[in-house]
Amino acid sequence: MKALLRNKNRLSLKWLGFYIPFTFYFILFAVVSVIGYQWLQTKAGIPDSAFADIFKLLLHFAIVFGVTILIAGFSTALLPFLYMLFKKRKGGINFRISTPPSDIESSKQPINIIIDPVLKPLLGFVKIRLKYGPDTFSDKFSLIRKSQKKLFSTELKGTYYWELPEIREYRIEQAVIYFEDLFQFFSFALPLNTSSDFHTYPLTKNSQSLNASPRKTEETSMRIEEIKKVEGEHINYKNFESNDDVRRIVWKIYAKNKELVVRIPEILDPYASHLYIYASFYTIFNANESDVLRIPFLNYYKTICWSVYKQFQQKGFDTRYIPDQSIPTAQMEDLKSQVRYSISVSKWHKDKRIQDFIKTKDASVVIISSLSDPQQVQQLLESNGNDITFIFVPLTEGLKKQHLGDWIQWLFVQQEKDAMAVYKTSWSISLLRLKIIKNEKRLKELLGQYERSTIIQR
The per-residue pLDDT for range 62-101, each reduced to its tens digit, is 888 888 889 999 999 999 999 999 988 888 888 888 887 6
Mean pLDDT of 32-61: 73
The per-residue pLDDT for range 402-449, each reduced to its tens digit, is 443 443 444 444 444 556 677 787 888 888 889 999 999 999 999 988
Least confident range from 11-15, 51-55, 220-224, 257-261: namely 220-224
Quote the pLDDT of residue 402. Answer: 42
Question: Backbone phi, then psi, for 263, in 5-degree steps?
Answer: -80, 130
Asked if 392 contacts 450 with a C-beta cutoff of 8 angstroms, the reply is no
> pTM above the 0.85 mark?
no
Mean pLDDT of 320-341: 84
The per-residue pLDDT for range 214-255, each reduced to its tens digit, is 765 555 444 444 444 444 443 466 777 766 766 677 877 878
Asked if 371 contacts 356 with a C-beta cutoff of 8 angstroms, the reply is no
β-strands 261-263, 237-239 pairing: antiparallel
Taking each helix axis from N to C terminus, what angle separates 50-89 and 24-41, rounded to the nearest 10 degrees? 160
